[in-house]
Structure 1
Amino acid sequence: MKHDVLSGSQVAERARLAIPGGVNSGQRSVPGLTDLVIVHAEGARFRDADGREFVDYHAAFGPPLLGHNDPDVGAAVAEAGRTVDLCGVGVTRGEVELAETLVELVPSVEKVLLTSTGSEATFHALRVARAATGRRLVVKFQGCYHGWHDAVSLNVISAPDRVGGRDPISTGILPEVLEATLVLPFNDAAAVRAAFAEHGHDIAAVIVEPVPHNVGCLLPEQEFLATLREECTRAGSVLVFDEVITGFRHDLGGWQKLSGITPDLTTMGKAIANGYPVGALGGRADLMELFSSRPGGPAFFAGTYNGHPAVVAAALATLRKLRTEPVHEHVFRLGERIRTGLADVFAGLGLPALVTGFGSVFVAYFMTGPARTYDDLLRNDAAMFIGYRRRLLEHGVFELPLNLKRSHVSYAHTDADVDRLLEAAEAAARAQLAAGAPVGDLTGASTMGGAVR
């Protein structure tokens, strides 16, 4: 059969026969959307095999800040392909230029190494922190996601009865690995001070999403971030900012530039290359020089596809556009329109909702405020959250219908797209309420979702 005449259900069934679950990442298969087969993406929209077109506010968990298939990024990738591909030895001019650009833009970065994913970057950050300190323990925070590797694969979107203990997101992890990770509540400076008072002599690293966007948007309190810096400095521990989401989307210098809190190491990815698979780890030169990319470095570092010319070209083109065009001005304005507009829509319907976010990121929790910590998010009405987003699909608007997931604006979105979202939001919320959907707490484990970025 020809590919162009297959329905979405036919392609999806073939996928399930050859690919476990029919998808290549944990939460791409969404209940009720298991036959979604993407055939075209451009700007602020994508189209599926059944001819449905959606205004895309999911945006692949955030990378395409410029919009899907940005022509300037595509042209740069094509040009790179005409001159060089992967040789696996030495360095290319593009790699040097990208490294210099990251050093220039991100306050903490004195030297930088490229990876293929954000998970690899966070893995290497913790490895080198342990190499530098000779210590065992890592601190992370409830609600933060740092990738798939064992040391951080716990306590992201946890059911209420799993908060406060170790809640691994996967089986197959050695208990002693989980036991070497301390999980603390986000935005709790007192808990950080207490952990350092008890364990500071053995804490190798503290890793944090400065804004925990993997549970929507918990905005950090300045005292909390300052306490992380103070306690790590006092104890000789390594402070790692995971800016895979916040980097470049919120500011060219990341959240560390906005907050004025400089970590020792920074992990980056996603918006750095508008969707091409690149990550980066950068920070203090003395830490970065411990990697085996420098002969004699004791912390092993490798990756066949690190610094691939195509993704380097994509990153350079993306950063060039972010620096020369009013990308942040545009997406911040639309983001504010959306947050204000959604709050008005839900208030007009008498629907309890807290609309929050930052810049180009927005999320509507169906609860009353505040949202400081993960515990606050347990009040979110997950049935309403998911049901509302499912009904948005009927109006050609795509926000991922999974609990607590954030949404994104790109440079390709327009005011007309925002108008369409607000109209769809009123219709979807009204229909969900009319269907008798419960409005209230719904915090069972089955509704708390998973851990993908």
Structure 2
Amino acid sequence: MSAEQDGTPAARLARRARQVVPGGVNSGQRSIPGLTDLVVTGTAGARFRTADGREFTDFHAAFGPPLLGHNDPDVARATEEAGRSLGHMGVGITEGEVHLAEQLAELIPSVEKLLLTSTGSEATFHALRVARAATGRRLIVKFQGCYHGWHDAVSLNVISAPEKVGGHDPISTGILPEVLAATLVLPFNDSEAVRSAFAEHGQDIAAVIVEPVPHNVGALLPHQEFLRTLREETTKAGSVLVFDEVITGFRHDLGGWQRISGVTPDLTTLGKAIANGAPVAALGGRADLMDLFSTTPGAPAFFAGTYNGHPSVVAAALATLRKLREEPVHEHVFRLGDRVRRELTALYDRLGVPAVVTGYGSVFVTYFMPGFTPDAPPRTYRDLLANDASLFVGYRRHLTEHGLFELPLNLKRSHISYAHTDADIDRLLEGTEAAVGAALAEGGVRDLSHTSTMGGALA
């Protein structure tokens, strides 16, 4: 039997991928240890199918974009109709782009003007560029545990090993040391650290960028006083406050976390749930800042992108927003999210497993560590260093045996969509009890927080 014929169809296709695609996947977040032959052949609603004939109820949801569920028929129909009537010109503007910008300006408190990009990383890149253009300053402030994309200024200190916390911890090689040196990394939810940083460096800080909820390490919920401190210190220093709402925007509220918190940033980045999985993101905010981009003739901050405002993704975004505004999407996913967090908490109490189930709305995550409760969840990245990474990853691997998929990488959040049902939650609860039992039986409770298991996918 030839190498091409050896193994299952999924294994053969995965092997072909590794021959022509570095690592066999097109994003570093997609290669899952122990699931290297994962070949997806179909998605629908709350489920996906694989080349080996298996079907999974999906609680990973591509790091969160399909808030309505995979292949939502209304979004698919709008995209198809746009494709039949309008191709991408790359000059001028379309009515859909105008309509989308108007809706986002209406919904998001900080947005007076808005530009479209293809990815959240592009949006955060341009936010920092225009902040430096506006202020003439050098330094950027980010927070441990927050992820803002792949570009050099922010590609550091996300899921860090304990000995790396407090210093620069780049997530990639190839970044110039002087670029890293221009980024200050502070602990999330630490108002005093923010005040100290501004006391020492305030006149050289161009921008503070923050995930209002650092969902790339699960769900660290912010202290209201911390967000207010960011607003106060940036205002006093003349720095630009950027809320990275690529995850929190639309999934948590149509107005983003800024509407929930009442703290309004200067710039906001959006993505993921904006178009239910279509590749579109956005940067919006104060008009005086946005008008510095070269989309305004003669303005100094260059901004471009061949696929920005592509008619098909704009149509997907408009259809998504229409459904979010007209149907009880948030009511449904928040109810199921509350149920998951409540009943998982009871499950772990019954099993005697030290765990805290936290999250917000449709997002949930279980940390395996004592000393915290849903009413007093972990609030800093240092808190999360106590998470039992082996049990976290181990039970999620066992979940796949029950047709359930939560990403088996440390600290990763899970998501509920409009397509999930109470029956799906029933299956999740049953499967979780069995999976945790299996992980415990094989000695899954080992503290691996000092190993590379602290690493994980970022999106």
Counterpart code for 2:169: D
1:377 — aligned with what?
A: 384
SS at match of 2:30: coil
What secondary structure does 1:394 align onto?
Answer: helix
Q: Cα distance, 1:435 vs. partner?
A: 1.8
Query: Which structure 2 residues correspond to residues 165-176 of structure 1 after superposition, within 5 A?
Result: 165-176=167-178
Q: What runs of 5+ residues in structure 2 fail to find an aligned partner?
A: none
Aligned to 1:395: 402
- Corresponding residue of 1:448: 454
CA distance in 2, matches of 1:398, 1:288: 40
How many corresponding residue pairs?
Answer: 451
Counterpart AA for 2:385: L
CA contact (8 A) 1:109 1:283 kept: yes
After the TM superposition, list the runs of 4 or more consecutive aligned residues in structure 1 that deviate by more than 6 angstroms.
none
CA distance in 2, matches of 1:442, 1:8: 31
Partner of 2:303: 301
The correspondence for 2:62, drawn from 60, 68, 76, is 60
Output the CA distance in 2 between the equivalents of 1:334 and 1:438: 28
Work out the CA distance in 1 between the residues paired with 2:445 and 2:328: 42
SS of structure 1 residue aligned to 2:29: coil
Asked whether the equivalents of residues 110 and 285 of structure 1 are also in contact (C-alpha less than 8 Å), the reply is yes
Native 8 Å contact 1:108 1:284 kept in 2: yes
**Correspondent of 1:132 among 129, 134, 138:** 134
1:404 aligned onto 2:406: no
Corresponding residue SS for 1:27: helix
Q: Which residue of 2 aligns with 1:161?
A: 163
* SS of equivalent to 1:41: strand
- Aligned equivalents of 1:209, 1:96: Cα separation in 2: 27
After TM superposition, the structure 1 = structure 2 runs for residues 279-428 of structure 1, keeping only pairs within 5 Å, are 279-368=281-370, 369=372, 370-428=377-435
**Which sits farther off after the overlay, 180-189 or 347-356?**
347-356
Amino acid at match of 2:391: M
Report the Cα offset of residue 434 of structure 1: 1.7
- The AA in structure 1 aligned to 2:274 is I
2:411 and 2:456 in contact (8 A); partners too: no
What are structure 1's unaligned runs of at least 5 residues?
Answer: none
Rounded Cα–Cα distance in structure 2 between residues aligned with 1:192 and 1:62: 29
RMSD of aligned Cα (Å): 1.3
Give the conservation status (yes or no) of the 8 Å contact 1:156–1:450: no
| Helix, strand or coil at the partner of 2:348 | helix
Q: Cα distance, 1:436 vs. partner?
A: 2.2
Do 2:230 and 2:241's aligned partners in 1 also have CA atoms closer than 8 Å?
A: yes
| Residue pair 2:357, 2:367 contacting (<8 A) in 1 also | yes
Amino acid at match of 2:305: G
Alignment of 1:63-212 (within 5 A): 63-212=65-214
Q: Against the structure 1 CA distance between its residues 135 and 274, is the aligned structure 2 distance closer, same or farther, given a 3 Å change threshold?
A: same
CA distance in 1, matches of 2:39, 2:453: 25
* 1:451 CA drift (Å): 4.7
Q: Deviations over 1:217-247 (max 9, x none)?
A: 0000000000000000000000000000000
CA distance in 2, matches of 1:217, 1:445: 21
State the distance in 1 between where 2:442 and 2:351 align.
Answer: 14
Q: Match for 1:236: what amino acid?
A: G
1:6, distance to aligned residue in structure 2 (A):
6.8
Distance across 2 between alignment mates of 1:365 and 1:16: 33
Structure 2 CA distance for aligned equivalents of residues 349 and 35 of structure 1: 33
What is the alpha-carbon distance in structure 2 between the residues aligned to residue 384 and residue 450 of structure 1? 15
SS in 1 for 2:97: helix
Paired AA for residue 203 in structure 2: H
> CA offsets, 1:344-392, max 9 Å, x none?
1111111010100000000001112241100000000000000010000
Secondary structure at 1:250 match in 2: coil
Alignment check: 8 A CA contact 2:124 2:149 kept: yes
Q: Deviations over 1:409-431 (max 9, x none)?
A: 00000000000000001111111
Q: Distance in 1 between matches of 2:174 and 2:443?
A: 41
8 A Cα contact 1:169 1:451, kept in partner = no
Supply the AA of the counterpart residue of 2:194: V
User: TM-score, with normalisation over the residues of structure 2?
Assistant: 0.97
Q: Which residue of 2 aligns with 1:434?
A: 441
Residues 37-73 of structure 1: CA distance to partner in whole angstroms, max 9, x if unpaired? 0000000000000011000000000000000000000
Percent identity over the alignment is 76
Alpha-carbon distance, 1:438 to partner:
2.2
Alignment partners' CA distance in 1, 2:445 and 2:317: 45
Q: Is the 8 A contact 1:335 1:362 kept in 2?
A: yes
**Comparing 60-69 with 424-433, which one deviates more in the overlay?**
424-433
1:145–1:451 contact (8 Å) kept in structure 2: no
Contact 2:157–2:165 (8 Å) recurs in 1: yes
SS state of the match for residue 170, structure 1? coil
